[in-house]
Amino acid sequence: MGILCKVEDYIADIVIDRPEAFNALNPAITKELGETAAKLAARSDVRAAIIRGGGDKSFVAGADIVSMMEMSAQEAAEFCYSVQSVFLTIERLPFPTIAAIQGFALGGGCELALSCDIRIASTRGRFGLPEVGLGIIPGGGGTQRLARLIGLGQAKRLIFSTEQIKAEEALAIGLIEKMTAPEDLMPTALKMAADISAKGPHAVQSAKIAIDQGYGVNIEAGLSIEAGLCALCFGGGEQREGMKAFTEKRVPQY
């Protein structure tokens, strides 16, 4: 029980393994998840990561309510900041992250998925932010990332109403990028991670930085970020290998 992680063929498989509690996040699990992400960030043999829940019923079904019931306002603030810090660490990993969502992604689980670059869900996926029904608000980035991803109106609808939505609707409103049959979820996530890992790792990292840093600025500033990062790609062997392989009609070796 805890966070399981293995790296194979440049892909990190991160499992929140607490199925008896629907993989709910408590302070200990959250801390371990952050430590795992920080260790992966320092490795040179990781080019993509998949984050998933243990078992087949839940991705992460929110935070552990029992552990939160008696928190003081100060303790709650510290918990929110700790969760936000972990999710920022995941968001800022130097390689793409894929949330593979089977079952419930509620509360903190939905917020964890939002901190990933790409979200793939099976038809069993269920999404929601139930916090206001518990007398609180999302504290792990839900009020910020959800609106940026699906727009103000849809974010307010889901947060104010606490409505749970199915994967079909999540796909329609842009909360997830891809939907699969339950048995195809991990094969699809692994194929996507493998496809990413086969590309130039520095180029993928630079593209992620350009997208993330350019999203919140005006178009001129964004274009400047893009041009600078594109130019830096021409300073190493990766670009030469990629273009040489193209002209020789072969697969590049990165």
Can you say whether the dihedral through the CA atoms of 132, 138, 66, 61 is positive or negative? positive
CB of 34 closer than 8 Å to CB of 89: yes
Catalytic residue, candidates 70, 75, 78, 131: 131
Measured in degrees and rounded to the nearest 5, phi and psi for residue 97 equal -120, 140
Contacts of residue 184, defined as CB under 8 A and 6 or more positions apart, other chains included, come to 122
Query: 133 vs 136, 146, 249, CA distance in Å?
Result: 7, 18, 58
Going by their DSSP bridges, the two strands 2-8 and 11-17 should be labelled as antiparallel
Residue 120: its H or E element: strand 118-122
Measured in degrees and rounded to the nearest 5, phi and psi for residue 120 equal -120, 130
Catalytic residue, candidates 70, 111, 163, 248: 111
Kindly report the three-state secondary structure assignment for every residue of 54-93. CCCCEEEECECHHHHCCCCHHHHHHHHHHHHHHHHHHHCC
For residue 31, what are its two tokens? 């801390």
Mark whether 131 is an active-site residue: yes
Rama region for 9: left / alpha / beta (φ>0; ψ in -120 to 50; rest) = left
20 three-state secondary structure: helix
Mark whether 111 is an active-site residue: yes
Catalytic residues: 111, 131
